[in-house]
Amino acid sequence: MITRTIPAVQAKAPQEPRSAPAGDWQRQLREAIRQPRDLLAAVGLDARWLAGAQLGHEAFEVRVPHAFMARMRHADPNDPLLRQVLPLAAEGEPVTGFVSDPLEEADHTPAAGLIHKYAARVLMITSGACAINCRYCFRRHFPYAEHTPSRAQWYDTLDYLRGDDTLREAILSGGDPLLSSDARLAWLAQALGEIPHLKRLRLHTRLPVVIPDRVDDALLEWLAASRLQKVMVLHINHPAEIDAAVVQACARLKSAGVTLLNQSVLLKGVNDAATTLAALSERLFEAGVLPYYLHVLDPVAGASHFDVPDERARLLVEALRAELPGFLLPRLVREVPGKPAKTPL
Ligand code: SF4
């Protein structure tokens, strides 16, 4: 296992608090930081970080919305939000056991954009991109171009769902499904709602967290209109990700009848402390979100520096169990290729 400690940088004079540019979510998306140099300048880190960041960026590009960046501490390379998005030279070092498709998803695609590996539910890749690029992402090498269907291919996907009456749930994933337009999502939600054996529509998304303005009237309208039960699984790893705008976005989603859950990834240097995980669960619940899963890292090439050994992960959850009521305790799990469900640790 290769690990790398982030070197300290010289302290800099405190700066004025930064705020995200206001406005609609598409503009915020266009204005997201996409160059290592711009990310370092925005968070106040010097050029020593540039060579490593550039190397990582060439394998998996930098993408950080200002609304997320604004929650980072200035000039702190150990900031837990920055660590999730800052490329490091370590990403380019091959590590035994860390591979490009750790979940072997490419083997479970019966139709374009469809991953069917669990009973009663299918995962539909609705968008090939994300609003933020997380360095530990298990799909960072996924060939989205081959699996993101055209509108015409969605008809084949919907036929597949109609033809399997064991299915109960459609999961929109990606990438981030909320990067799709509301017109497209409304069309898809309606088509799914017309399949009688489906009961639930689930969305896996990080957008309400990284650009809370994504939760706008158009989104709430099609969500509220669907006959399906709606579940949104957010992805938040650290309590500092939950600011007032995220709390407000969660409240609006709940008002549209959406059940909110959260999944986190256990990440070295980000949230691998019981105090941090306990604070995360408390903060989630204050925002109306239930902690659902705490995933151990999927062994994807380029992310080994985030790995937390299983034994340490178990100890962390035991410490959490002593602190929190059971309903705030996320389930510690791993995804194992070929297994019909997540594997508890
Ligand atoms: S938002 Fe999710 S899918 Fe997108 S890069 Fe981050 S972890 Fe991966």
CB half-sphere exposure, 33, CA atoms < 13 A: 26
127 lines ligand 1 (CB under 6 A): no
Q: Which residues contact 183 (CB under 8 A, 6 or more apart)?
A: none
Which residues are bridge partners to 295 per DSSP? Answer: 265, 333
Would you kindly state where each structural domain of the chain is located, as residue ranges?
25-92, 105-344
Determine the atom of ligand 1 nearest the C-alpha atom of 204: 2
Taking Cα atoms as reference points, which of 122, 132, 98, 128 lies closest to residue 236?
132
pTM: predicted TM-score of the whole model, two decimal places: 0.90
Residues 273, 311: contact at Cβ < 8 Å?
A: no
Per DSSP, 40 falls in state H
Eight-class DSSP state of 138: T
Q: Which CATH number, 3.40.50.170, 3.20.20.70, 3.50.50.60, 3.40.1390.10, labels domain 105-344? A: 3.20.20.70
For ligand 1, whether the C-beta of 134 sits within 6 Å is yes
pLDDT digits (tens, 9 = 90+) for 296-308: 999 999 999 999 9
pLDDT at 305: 96
Each residue's pLDDT tens digit in the chain (345 positions)?
333 333 333 333 334 334 444 459 999 999 999 999 999 999 999 999 999 999 999 999 999 999 999 999 999 999 999 999 999 999 988 899 998 877 776 666 656 678 887 889 999 988 889 999 999 998 787 666 666 677 778 888 899 999 999 999 999 998 899 999 999 999 999 999 999 999 999 999 999 999 999 999 999 999 999 999 999 999 999 999 999 999 999 999 999 999 999 999 999 999 999 999 999 999 999 999 999 999 999 999 999 999 999 999 999 999 999 999 999 999 999 988 777 678 899
Ligand 1 centre and the CA of 163: distance in Å?
Answer: 30
Establish how many alpha carbons lie within 13 A of residue 118's alpha carbon, considering only the half-sphere containing its beta carbon.
15
Distance from Cα 226 to the centre of ligand 1, integer Å: 26
334, two tokens: 């791993």
For residue 294, give Cα distances in angstroms to 93, 176, 258, 271. 26, 19, 21, 11
Atom 7 in ligand 1: residue holding the nearest Cα:
137
Q: Ligand 1 centre from 204 Cα, in Å?
A: 10
> In Å, what is the CA distance from 83 to each residue of 38, 200, 293?
15, 34, 21
